[in-house]
Structure 1
Amino acid sequence: MKKWIMISLFSVFLLHPCVSEANVKLPSSVVDISKENTYPNPTQNLPYLQPSELAKELLASANVKIKNPELIRLLNESSISSTPFAIGYKATIYLGQWPLNYESTETTTNWEYQKVNTNFYDNRGGKAPVRLMYKQEMQKHVRGGLTASVPNEEAVKKMMLLTAMSKTNLPLSFSTFIGAGTKKEQMYNVHARKLGYLYAYAPAVNEKGKVTYGEVYIVLKGNKKSVLVKNVTSQGIGAWIPVQDRLSFSFVSSDIPR
């Protein structure tokens, strides 16, 4: 008796909750520019997939932990009909080689990941302090990325991004912009006979861990169904993930040009 495997287009998503920054203590030099940024960065509301009942059953049966949202989506889109006459029926369906899960070992933040702007005032000829304010001179595109080349890079980046967002509660993205003309009403005094330099840096999270790969099969035996993973391998991986709409300021007063 044949058993039919049908593909439906149904999958359920739970949107990532609005981020807060309770898990990371922000230095006093770090400011939020989300309202002032002249470039509207899209919010990275990556979906958390809610497994279907079938997907839950298959995931629980797997011999290796599966957390890849794309693979869970594929299982969500599958349906296997049951029949009371399936005694003796056997089938093995190959789904391909997948990154199965990512395990984080270290998550740190570099608040001065990339310098994006310098504001300057020469007050060497002045007799009174002058206030210097941040203004973005040119649009800047801050990019992150993986520290090594791995198979199925986009799926790995999604898993690492979800992990880093969960651990830090920071608004993260592998690509973010600071728009030209962005201002912040935070003043710095350049004293008389001094040069003032205000540097702005884009922060980023450094995520490190291990990604596990394997060949995934759906095994059907009678009315039983399970997931089998073969040829499992692991690889160390790291990533730099910029923090959206946050800047770290550093003010320097000097007697001579820098």
Structure 2
Amino acid sequence: MRKWSFCCLISVFIVYSFALAAGAAPKQAVPNSIVDISKENTYPNPTQDLPYLQPSKFAKQLTNSSNAKIENPELIRLLNESSVSSTPFAIGYRATIYLGQWPLNYQSLETSTNWEYQKINTNVLDNRGGNAPQKLYYKQETLKHVRGGLTAQVPNEEAVKKMMLLKAMKKTNLPLAFSTVVGIGTKKDQPYQVPVKKLGYLYAYAPAVNEKGKVTYGEVYIVLKGNKKKIVVKNVTTQGVGAWIPVQDRLSFSFTVSDQPR
């Protein structure tokens, strides 16, 4: 039994080591206080479907030729919709096409979660005059919008937010969105016991992910020389950026009892 357990531990360590070497960070542990309200939420939030956009053969050829890494889905989409025909008579042909200044890629440096990012609801049960324990349940009293956003202004904000959202979703495996809503009347059947001669307070919080990293900008050119095509990026700059991204349809509950009103 001891030999089998030791072998299992070695196997787990090897698998974990290979995962880290491949850049696969462990998913963040979700506390037991986090509750999924996606089925109970009276306000249907739209699902954030932001799969990584696959470049076309032509776009892949161009991005592979670039002197700077290109991950911006909007720029890849533009390249996917472009084409340049090759011709045997292109000897001596030269052209440079300026596509503008773009955010090229986002490098995530730190990802953390504040499970009590914003308090959105308080339920109270006064059992000071009761003869037996009473049950307190969560019920959303008002419709609540929870919004995130970048912590500082950067050029081409929407494209940067999309890249940050993609990285944060991949690292946390959580349903993230820069805006989410908890509808009025949303309920959960989980009871919280309020003792005799006590007041019970049930607080509901919306969690959010804090994403921090660097975004790289550059002026993008398509350079054509004969039948050769490539991307050249000039004036490359890097800027630090941070964002708060709410977790969609998840709540964190905190329950406490008191002798006096709070």
With the length of structure 2 as denominator, give the TM-score of the two structures: 0.89
Structure 1: how far apart are the matches of 2:190 and 2:244?
28
Question: 74, 80, 86: which is aligned to 1:76?
Answer: 80
For 2:27 and 2:41, how far apart are their aligned partners in 1?
24
Q: Return the match for 2:234 from 224, 230, 235.
A: 230
CA separation in 2, counterparts of 1:45 and 1:25?
23
Aligned-residue offset at 1:164: 0.4
Q: Unmatched 5+ residue regions in structure 2?
A: 1-25
Aligned-partner residue type, residue 60 of structure 1: N
**Mapping for residues 86-235 of structure 1, pairs under 5 Å:** 86-235=90-239
Root mean square deviation of aligned Cα: 0.8
Paired residue type of 1:108 = S
CA–CA separation in structure 1 for the residues paired with 2:209 and 2:254:
19
Distance 2:135 2:40 in 1: 20
**Partner SS, residue 190 of structure 2:** strand
Greater helix fraction, Structure 1 or Structure 2 = 2
CA distance in 1, matches of 2:56, 2:172: 28
Matched ranges for 1:23-34 at <5 A: 23-34=27-38
Deviations 1:167-197 (A, max 9, x none): 1110000000000000000100110111110
Q: What letter matches 2:191 in structure 1?
A: M
Q: Deviations over 1:196-226 (max 9, x none)?
A: 1000000000000000000000000111110
User: Following TM superposition, where does structure 1 have runs of at least 4 consecutive aligned residues deviating by more than 6 angstroms?
Assistant: none
Distance 2:178 2:225 in 1: 43
Q: Counterpart amino acid of 2:241?
A: I
CA distance in 2: counterparts of 1:64 and 1:170, whole angstroms = 30
Question: What is the TM-score with the length of structure 1 in the denominator?
Answer: 0.91
Match of 1:37 in 2: 41
2:230 matches 1:239:
no
- Per-residue CA deviation, residues 75-119 of structure 1 (Å, 9 max, x unaligned), is 001000111111111110000000000000000000000000000
Shift of 1:23: 2.1
Q: Which residue of 1 aligns with 2:68?
A: 64
DSSP-derived class of the 1:183 partner: coil
Separation in 2 of the partners of 1:200 and 1:235?
35
Shift of 1:243: 0.4
Unaligned runs of 5+ in 1: 1-21
Give the secondary structure class of the aligned counterpart of 1:184. Answer: coil
Q: Which has the higher strand share?
A: 1
Number of matched residues? 237
